[in-house]
Structure 1
Amino acid sequence: MNAGKKILGLTAMLLMLTLWASYFYVIKENRDGQLGGAGESTAWCGTPPSTEAALLGKDQLTLRVTNNLRGEFMLSGSLVVSERTFNRYDLGRNELRLRLEPLQWSYGVTPIFLEQVKVQPLSRNLASPTKSAYAELEPRPIGVQGQVTEFPFDTYRYGYKPVLYYLKGSERIDLRFKNITTLMDMSNTFTPIQKYNRVEYINEKNSMIRDEDYKAYGPHECAFSVERKGSFKVVVLLLLLVLCLPLLHVFYRDEPGVDFLATLVVIAVVRVVLVGPVQDFQLYNIDFLFGAAILLVGSVSLIKAMRANSRREMALKSGATSSW
């Protein structure tokens, strides 16, 4: 066995050991179909989650932030308005609105665009002892700071201050709610991490940092960093290493045949499992790795096929010459 075959065999052994190690790691991290504990994908900020405020008819705003594998974030929630607040601001006639004021995400940048969230009409429950009013927030996508194309190393930042208000002519009247809770209910692959001040949230080494940037956020300001779980990154690594199997077959076989088709099928399956089908030709960084694997397998297969064809032609010519 020559040196090239020995190196190839050693590489194949290391690949198989890594595949099995990653496989058993994922099995260990599996808990009722979740990568890690269910609580690792949830978090909250603001007023502690409780049903007491709703039962007592107190003013309460609950926001729920969710996302999917593609990094798209959605906001929904509910609202409870006490009878006192309802009558004080005449919310039977004045339409209640909600705006999300983004927190500063970079030094030297002042956010000016607000997220407007539609509040459904308030429904009063006059038969209840509290006589409070209730409304749902209309679900809508929200903007976060992050690049989805960096999958699986993509991270996102969410930072807003929710403010309820209504319009009285051209004047904007803000309502002061004490109970505001933001629930981060992320998908299985993400972990939300709360940030407590501007330095932690922006996370930039910059000479513009001031002492006031270390000041804690207010009770209604909510800032999170959403990162991929380490176990999910191992799953991605495991699937990417599977792509190496057809490539090794190409190097081992003298006349590769179906290896190129096998590579195309494996890449298509892995791509759909990880990030779904291509939409509007939006390419992720990982897609260039898939493209390199296709080109490499296709090039090696083609070169070996050309060499095999040349050997056959030489054998035919030598056979024809010897027959004379």
Structure 2
Amino acid sequence: MAAGKKILGLTALLLMLTLWASYFYVFNENRDGQLGGAGDSRAWCGTPPSGEAALLGKDQLTLRITNNLRGEFMLSGSVVVSERTFNRYDLGRNELRLRLEPLQWSYGVTPIFLEQVKVQPLSRNLSATDKSAFAELEPRPIGVQGQVAAFPFDTYRYGYKPVLYYLKGNERIDLRFKNITTQMEMSNTFTPIQKYNRVEYINEKNSMIRDEDYKAYGPHECAFSVERKGSFKVVVLLLLLILCLPLMHVFYRDEPGIDFLATLVGIAVVRTVLVGPVKDFELYNIDFLFGAAILLVGTVSLIKAMKAHSRREMALRSGATSSW
């Protein structure tokens, strides 16, 4: 056996072993349809989540942060205003507003753009014993720091301080809510990791780090790093290795043909499963890997097809010469 065939055989054997090992790892990590534990994609910061404040009619702001496979983040939530606060600030006439003040995400950068979130009109529950008012936040996309194109090694940083306020003429009056909770409810492929100070959140080796950067965030400041689960990265690896099977067939076949079509269909399916169809020609880093696989399979198939055609022509010429 030629050295090239031996290397090809060992590569094929290693590929099959890796495929089966990845498959059993993902199988063991899948628990009730979840990659890992059920709580791995959830976290919170601020006031511990509880329905007690709402039942007692206390001031409470709850933010819910969700996202999808593509790394797009959405914000929603609700606010409960006690009767005392409602009357004190005359929130029946003054529109309640919410702003999110972004935390510093890089040394030497001071965030100046605030995220404005619309609060729906307050609805008073006068029949209840606490006579509190309730309103939902209008769902909207939220800006985070991160690079979507780095999939599946993309990480995101969410860091904000929520502040409720209303306008009195040209003056902005901030409301001091004690119960503010931010709940991170990430999709199955992400894990939120809370950061407790500026050094952990920024995560940069920089000479500009000062002692005050190690100071813990305030009770209403919320900072998270959202990363892909290790088990999801193994799923991506498994799907990429499966795409190598048509390539191995191309090297083994003398006249490959259907392998190129199988590669195209396989890549289209894997790309759609992982990140969905291409939107406005927005390419991820992994798309260039897909493109390289298509070019490699197509090139090898074409070269082998050309060689096979040359052999057939030489055989026809040799046959015609001998008959002559």
Q: Check whether TM > 0.5.
A: yes
Inter-partner Cα distance in structure 1 for 2:186 and 2:138: 19
Inter-partner Cα distance in structure 2 for 1:172 and 1:2: 80
**Local SS of the residue matching 1:63:** strand
Q: Post-superposition shift, 1:175?
A: 0.2
Q: Post-superposition shift, 1:38?
A: 1.1
Inter-partner Cα distance in structure 1 for 2:288 and 2:213: 39
Q: Post-superposition shift, 1:205?
A: 0.2
Q: How does 1:201-240 map to 2 (within 5 A)?
A: 201-240=201-240
RMSD: 0.3
Q: Post-superposition shift, 1:309?
A: 0.2
**Local SS of the residue matching 1:248:** helix
**Local SS of the residue matching 1:16:** helix
Inter-partner Cα distance in structure 2 for 1:228 and 1:257: 37
Q: Post-superposition shift, 1:16?
A: 0.3
**Local SS of the residue matching 2:254:** coil
Inter-partner Cα distance in structure 2 for 1:314 and 1:152: 49
Inter-partner Cα distance in structure 2 for 1:197 and 1:305: 61
Q: Post-superposition shift, 1:272?
A: 0.2
Inter-partner Cα distance in structure 2 for 1:216 and 1:260: 56
Alignment of 1:262 with 2:262, yes or no, is yes
**Local SS of the residue matching 1:312:** helix
Q: Which residue of 2 aligns with 1:143?
A: 143
**Local SS of the residue matching 2:39:** helix
Deviations 1:209-266, CA, capped at 9 Å, x for gaps:
0000000000000000000000000000000001100000000000001010000000
How many pairs are equivalent? 324
**Local SS of the residue matching 2:40:** helix
Deviations 1:66-103, CA, capped at 9 Å, x for gaps:
00000000000000000000000000000000000000
**Local SS of the residue matching 1:200:** helix
Identity %: 91
Could you list the runs of 5+ residues in structure 2 that have no partner in the other structure? none
Q: Post-superposition shift, 1:6?
A: 0.8
Q: Post-superposition shift, 1:52?
A: 0.3
Q: Which residue of 2 aligns with 1:120?
A: 120
Inter-partner Cα distance in structure 1 for 2:257 and 2:269: 20
Inter-partner Cα distance in structure 2 for 1:6 and 1:265: 29
Inter-partner Cα distance in structure 1 for 2:22 and 2:253: 27
Inter-partner Cα distance in structure 1 for 2:190 and 2:262: 31
**Local SS of the residue matching 2:58:** coil
Inter-partner Cα distance in structure 1 for 2:231 and 2:59: 40
Q: Post-superposition shift, 1:193?
A: 0.2
Alignment of 1:7 with 2:7, yes or no, is yes
Q: Post-superposition shift, 1:113?
A: 0.2
Deviations 1:4-47, CA, capped at 9 Å, x for gaps:
11110110000000000000000000100000011000000000
TM-score under structure 2 length normalisation: 1.00
Could you list the runs of 5+ residues in structure 1 that have no partner in the other structure? none
Inter-partner Cα distance in structure 1 for 2:48 and 2:244: 48
Q: Post-superposition shift, 1:196?
A: 0.2
Inter-partner Cα distance in structure 1 for 2:262 and 2:181: 50
Q: Post-superposition shift, 1:126?
A: 0.3
Q: Post-superposition shift, 1:183?
A: 0.1
**Local SS of the residue matching 2:86:** helix
Inter-partner Cα distance in structure 2 for 1:109 and 1:256: 56
Q: Post-superposition shift, 1:125?
A: 0.2
Inter-partner Cα distance in structure 1 for 2:189 and 2:169: 46
Inter-partner Cα distance in structure 2 for 1:25 and 1:34: 13
